[in-house]
Structure formats: structure tokens, C-alpha cells
Structure 1
Amino acid sequence: MTDQHHVSNAAPPADPWADIRPYMDHEVSEVLSRLSRDSELLNALTRFKLPRLARWSPGLARLLAGRAVRREVASVASVRDFQMRIAGYMERMIRTTTDAFEVAGLDKLDANSAYLFIGNHRDISLDPAFVNYALYQAGRDTVRIAIGDNLLKKPYVTDLMRLNKSFIVPRSARGKRAMLAAYQQLSGYIRHSITVDNHSIWMAQREGRAKNGIDRTDPAIIKMLTMAKRGEPGDFVFGEAVAELKLVPVSISYEYDPCDVQKARELSDVATKGGYDKTEFEDIQSIVAGITGTKGRVQLRFGQPIGADMATPDEVAAEIDRQVIGGYRLFPSHYLALEALGEAPELIARKSITREDRTRFNERLAQVPDELKPYWLAQYANPVKHKAGRLRL
């Protein structure tokens, strides 16, 4: 996947974003060398690829895994090289776990311009991965990806994400002053990426995935995005600060969510126990489940850039919501869930549902524990009601 904007291989003398930005080409070989010796990464790989050997002779398994990693990345000398490796895996994942991947609206956006793509969030790693794959297929540069530091509990995970053009969003900074400084730095990096580097960015419309199927933008994200401009000399005009970032809403729709049962369990626990305790490696398990699980059809729709006629963060959030919900594709799974709940029969597009759709849906539903079924069904039914303006938010 192309990375045309790494003009220089030398680090700038003052790098205000060194601790949060993606790695640059001149850092790649050192990071890969570190990864090939990282015992936690090698243990994880051996448990996945060589489970029996990992049990009987973990040292030998690690040695073999280290050799395999070094062989795999021997010809990787740049971020682009690394992403080209990922492109191959992405193609295989799309071929084996989706029935179709459709892209709409990208052709209306200038290929030579950077955009801040802000999208609904259903899957931890796949939402931006599908955006990248759509850009790659269109011969365009891939995005820098905003990723919460809550996902970066292991140094090797941080290294892998930053090699793949991710930058770090602070969620664990303690104290108001520390959070403010962290968000100021983040806002400055995002603005610099769009307006100076001419390098596109993807970020989610809110913190965390929409586990109940209701996509909504958090206005606090818009406030953060305009912080850096507010701090610059001269008059601050909110609409101009927004227009400069070339915000483009992006809507991703999955016919089936590989993490739907796990999300239903979390929603059930919150409803019945008042909270949900996440296990240590749950986010990593969700990433793996998302990549390997069956998704049915997937649609990605790019919206229109948001102009300077916005006066408040709430107005921008409402416009993002309008485009995301408007661009969301409803599949038979969504209508069948609404039908199973016995709600709003007039919203169900029965003509779009085939016998095969119904069989597939019922087979999936049969595997969901009874106590989780209402939460599982709501994830799929809510987008239908949301699109029709029938949700009480």
C-alpha cells in the first residue's frame, strides 16, 4: 500500500509528535529487528502456529518463530513494503470471509487531496483496514489510523500498529492537565498531517465500538480536532477550522458482525449486573475474531467533505451522523432481526429477503444463548430504526 509522502528518510531535528506518530521509513529496520526478538510476540505466534511444539519445547518454538519472522520481513525496508505485505493478507481475508466488498463515493473525492475520514466504528481493526484496502485498490495513498492507547498494552502490539501507520490517541492520561496536553498534541498532529503533510487520516466517530448498532458522533472529538487551530495566533473561526481538515464521513456496513455474540454478552452484563469486566486479552481476541469470522457482504461508503458553514461541534457531529446513517447499507440480517423482535413491521423490506438469507440468519440466531438473544437482535435491528428516524436516543 503506497506511502508517497515520506519525502525524507531523516528524522526532523525537533519532532513534537515522536511518541504518538506512526513510524517513518528510517525507523522500520530497527523496529522489525526488535520484533523478531520479542519473546511475547514469538510466544503468541508459536501458540497460534506451532501449538504442540510451543507446549513441549517453547525455546525451540520461539527460535523457529524468530527465524520465520526474519525471513518474512527480510525484504521490508519501508512502511510501504510493510503495508504491501498486509495487502496480501487482506485480499485473502476478503476472499475467504466476505461474500462481497463494495465501495461507493470514493470516486467523488480528489485523489490528490488529504482527507480526515471519520467513520462509524463496528470492528477494532477492520473498519480502517477496509478503508485502506479501498484506497489501495483505487491506487491512492493509505491513511494514518487513530488508535486508542487502551489497545496498546504490549510493546510489540504498539510496534506493529505504528508500522502500519497508526498514531496513538491518549485515553489513559491521568489528571485534567495531562489530558489537555495530550489532546493538544494529538490535535496538532492531525492538523499537521492534513494541512502540511497532505496525508489522509481515519478515526472513529466516538471512543469504542457501537456495540448496540447505534452509530453516533461524539462532539468532544470535533472540539479536540479544532484545539490546535484555536491555539494558533490570529482570529479563530470555527467553520474555517473544520473546513481546513476536509472531514469526510465514512459509513461501513457489515451483513454479519463476527463479534456480535461477544458484544451481546457485554450489553447483557451492563443491563443485568450494572457493568462489564473485560478480560486482559479480550481486545486482541476481538481483533482476531473480526479478521477470521464470517462477515457476509460488506459495504463502505465515502461521504462529502464538510464545509465551513458549521458553527458548533454539535452541528458537525449531527452532519457526520446524517451522512453515516444515510450511507449505511441495510442487509437482510437487519430486517430479519427487526422481524424477530416483532417491532415496526412496516420498516421491513421483505422483497429484499431470500429464503437463503432467512436460513442463514436463523442458523446464526440458533447459536446465540437465549439470554443474549434480545441484545444480539437489537444490534442488527437498531440500524433499521435509526435510518427511519424511529430510535429514541
Structure 2
Amino acid sequence: MTEVDRFADIRPYRDEEVPAAIERLIQDDEFIGAIAKYRFGSLMSWLGWALRPLIRQFLRYKWAKVTTIHQVQTGVARYMSRMIATSTAGVTFSGLEHLKKEQGYLFVSNHRDIAMDPAFVNWGLHTHGFDTVRIAIGDNLLRKPCATELMKLNKSFIVKRSAKAPREMMKALGELSAYIGESVRDGHSIWIAQKEGRAKNGDDKTDPAILKMFYVDGKKQKIEFAEYMSSLNIVPVSISYELDPTDKAKARELYEKSVNGSYEKGEFEDIASIVAGIVGQKGRVHVSFGAPVCQGFSNPEELAALIDQAIWGSYRLFPNNYLAADVTAHANASEQAAFQRRQAEVPAEHQPIWRAMYAKPVENANKV
């Protein structure tokens, strides 16, 4: 009797599923069209009919020998190396001494960038001899079939945010909780953001609802909250960007919400944010891994507070952060001038929100 694949609709692809997934990508017109537009721009309007078959042929040749998830990850690592060289002033890591290579962890991270946050965590783990993580991704980012294929090839599992009916939501939460718990117990680490959506205002705060979701399976097994959560090896992760390539877009969204009460995202706005986050200049980047949080809490709120303290205390503050908070002692004259130039590119009415975004980590660090 075949074993039931209970996580089939949310889990990442396995090795044996890689060739078929790659073939579906090659056959996907939107995926091929996106590559053609990115690489050839205006030529697409009058040469698209010729370019699409050539791109398919090239990808089929290039990916012919890619048959495992490890090979996909190796390809991503090559791309990461180039991206770091062209869009950062260097990436540094701290706290890896807290981790054991044979152990599975639940990395609960602050969230500033859709794609790059887990990518930089993975880069730190990969370059220090650890296995890469399974990445939680909301189904709101997977509206296109090709996006689902790409994410599941890159060890992403699906968080069903679109579930609305109570019974459907509880089923989705139970499935997700069980998948996370089983992954960690089997030695596979997980990356998940500390709350739904990015901290567009710079305030890195853990949502206790995320922690309650982790506990759904523990509660079902009648295990005490503290005991079950300790078994998940929760590691707070703090990711700091000297420059946020999407800062102006975030400030605009927050301004619109403050003035109009709401903000309507464009159809491809999330994709545009992902692209801007990948190719945009990020300055220096630092990723800090905390020690596993295994004690000192008895409920979700207390655990959330401990994670926040760890993230705020290890956040690497850059001159931009201090200058936005009107602390000039940590920045030299050229850094101050660069900050003023960057601020001048932001519409005047958005500038207070833009400054507050960079200043918030200083305020949070002062609470620790």
C-alpha cells in the first residue's frame, strides 16, 4: 500500500519531481515571455515570435542535466554570488556558532524584502557548510503557475493565506503546523517571517498569531506550549540592509494609507518589489543568527517578546539609521551628504515616513 503524501499540496518539490517541473516552466508562455522581455526589451514587440522558441531551446539545453533539488540550489548559489557582487557592498554574518549542522531549526526572521531575506539567510548557511532552509511563502505571491514552479523548486512551501472559511483555515493551519514540526524533527530547517507581510515601517515585531500557528499541532498532541515550542529550536534572525531598494515604494504605500485610509496594489506590484529587491543597491547587509529560544516563556506573547528582544538587540545599525533618528555622532560628513541626497529623491510629503522607516530600528535597539 502506498504511503499517503499528506503535505503534497504545500511542500517543496522532491528530486523525482524536478524534471517535470522544469519542463512545465519551459512550456509556460508567461515565463518565457518574462525572460524575453527582461533580456531583449523592445525587441520583443517585433521579434517575439522568433525569440520565444530560441529561449525554450536554450533553457532545455541549459537545464538538461538538472535532476535534483541540490542542483537547483547550486544554480541559485551561483546567481547569489553574482547578485551580491553587483548589488551589495558586502554581506556579513554573526551568531552561526549557536547552530549545529546536523540539527533542524525554525528560523523566525524580521522581514524587509520578499525574496532577499530568506536568500541571505540561505547564503550564510550555505557558505558556512549548513544545509539550506525550506522557505515559507504566502500563496498571494503564487498567482502565476510559473511562480509556483520556481518557488517549489527552490525549497519553498506554501502558506495558504487565501483560506477564509473557518473550517478551511483550521485545516490549513493544522497542515502547516504539522509540516513545520515534522521538518524540524527530521533535521530540515525552516525560514518564516515573524509576521505576515514586510515591516514596511521598519518596526520588526513578532505576531503572536504566527507562534500560535506553530503550536496547533502541539496542542492537538496535548503537549504544553513551552515544551512543544522548545522542541522547534526557534532561532531569531535579524537581517539589516544599509539601503532598502524598495524604500520609496514602501513610503508611498504608507503615505497613501495614512491619507486615504487604504492602498490598492497594482496587479504586478509584488513582482516589481521582488525584482527591485534583487537588483537594487542594498549597501552593506548583515545577518545575525540568535541562540535558540528554549526557555523563559509560557505563552505566545512572552515568546514573541523574547524573539523581538533578540532581533532588536542584534540588528546591525548603519549610518542611515542613526541619521534618520537625528543621531549624527555615528556618521561622517560624506555619509551625511549621501543620506541627504537619497532623502532628496523622496517626494517631500513622503519624507517623514521614509525617515521613520530607517529610524525605527534605532528606537527598538534602545528598548533592549
The partner residue of 1:373 within 351, 355, 358 is 351
- Alignment counterpart, residue 358 of structure 1, candidates 331, 336, 340: 336
3-state secondary structure, aligned to 2:90: strand
SS of 1:15 mapped into structure 2: coil
Aligned: 1:23 with 2:13: yes
Q: Displacement, 1:349?
A: 5.6
Taking the TM superposition and a 5 Å limit, the aligned residue runs for 1:275-314 are 275-314=262-301
The structural deviation recorded for 1:372 is 1.1
Mapped partners of 1:59, 1:319: distance in 2: 56
1:163-242 equivalences in 2 (<5 Å)? 163-195=153-185, 197-232=186-221, 235-242=222-229
How far apart are residue 55 of structure 1 and its match?
Answer: 0.5
Tell which deviates more after alignment, 174-183 or 48-57.
Answer: 48-57
TM (norm. structure 2) is: 0.97
Computed over aligned residues only, the root mean square deviation of the Cα atoms, in angstroms, reads 1.2
Q: How many Å separate the matches in 1 of 2:141 and 2:181?
A: 23
Residue 83 of structure 1 corresponds to which residue in structure 2? 73
Please state whether the residue corresponding to 1:99 is helix, strand or coil: coil
- Residues 309 and 385 from structure 1, CA distance in 2 versus in 1: closer, same or farther, beyond 3 angstroms? closer
User: How far apart are residue 309 of structure 1 and its match?
Assistant: 4.0
Which secondary structure state, in structure 2, belongs to the residue aligned with residue 50 of structure 1?
Answer: helix
Q: Distance in 1 between matches of 2:145 and 2:332?
A: 47
Structure 1 length-normalised TM: 0.91
Conservation of the 8 A alpha-carbon contact between 2:207 and 2:304? yes
For the Cα contact (< 8 Å) 1:365–1:373, is it kept in 2?
yes
Residue number in structure 2 paired with 1:243: 230
Unaligned runs of 5+ in 1: 1-11, 340-347
Q: Shift in Å at residue 58 of structure 1?
A: 2.0
Structure 1 residue 75, shift from structure 2 partner: 2.0
Q: Deviations over 1:54-89 (max 9, x none)?
A: 110322121122122222312211001011111111
Per the alignment, residue 152 of structure 2 pairs with 162
Please give the alpha-carbon distance, in whole angstroms, between the structure 1 residues aligned to 2:315 and 2:88. 17
Match of 1:36 in 2: 26
**Distance in 2 between residues matched to 1:322 and 1:349, nearest whole Å:** 25
> CA offsets per residue over residues 76-130 of structure 1, 9 Å max, x none?
1100101111111101111111112110001221111110000000000100000
1:266 correspondence with 2:244: no
Counterpart Cα distance in 2 of 1:323 and 1:125 = 23
SS at 2:303 equivalent: helix
State how far apart, in whole Å, the 1-side matches of 2:155 and 2:363 are. Answer: 36
Matched residue, 1:6: none
- TM-superposition CA deviations, 1:257-303 (whole Å, max 9, x none): 00000000000000000000000011110000001111111110000
**2-structure distance, mates of 1:74, 1:221:** 40
SS of corresponding position for 2:216: helix
Cα distance per residue 1:132-161 (max 9 Å; x no partner): 000110011000000000000100001100
- Tell me by how many angstroms 1:383 deviates: 1.1
Q: What are the Cα deviations for residues 188-233 of structure 1, in whole angstroms up to 9, with x where unaligned?
A: 10001011x210000000000000000000001111101111112x
Which residue is 2:39 aligned to? 49
Alpha-carbon distance in structure 2 between the residues aligned to 1:245 and 1:337: 37
| Matches of 1:229 and 1:118, distance apart in 2 | 18
Per-residue deviation at 1:362?
1.6
**Partner Cα distance (2:301, 2:344) in 1:** 41
Amino acid at match of 2:367: G
2:340 and 2:82 map into 1 onto residues whose CA distance is 27
> Which of residues 315, 337, 353 in structure 1 aligns to 2:324?
337
Cα deviation per residue 1:358-385 (whole Å; 9 max; x = unaligned)?
2221221111111111111110011111
Provide the residue aligned with 2:120 in structure 1: 130
Which sections of structure 2, spanning at least 5 residues, go unmatched?
none
Could you tell me how far apart the structure 1 residues matched to 2:115 and 2:125 are?
16
Q: Does 1:117 align with 2:95?
A: no
The percentage of aligned residue pairs carrying the same residue is: 48
Contact residue 261 and residue 368 of structure 1 kept, 8 A = yes
Task: Give the letter for the 2:337 counterpart.
Answer: T
* Whole-angstrom CA distance in 2 between matches of 1:137 and 1:77: 23
Amino acid at match of 1:57: L
Answer yes or no: is the 8 Å Cα contact 2:98–2:292 preserved in 1. no
Question: Which residue in 2 is equivalent to 1:325?
Answer: 312
Q: 1:238, 1:310 within 8 Å by CA — same for their partners in 2?
A: no
> What amino acid is aligned across from residue 386 of structure 1 in structure 2?
N
Letter in 2 for 1:145: I
CA distance in 2, matches of 1:210, 1:107: 27
The letter for the 2-side match of 1:204 is A
SS in 2 for 1:383: helix
Counterparts of 2:43 and 2:22, CA distance in 1 = 24
Match of 1:58 in 2: 48
Separation (CA, whole Å) in 2 of partners of 1:245 and 1:253: 25
Q: Deviations over 1:333-363 (max 9, x none)?
A: 0111122xxxxxxxx261x312221222122
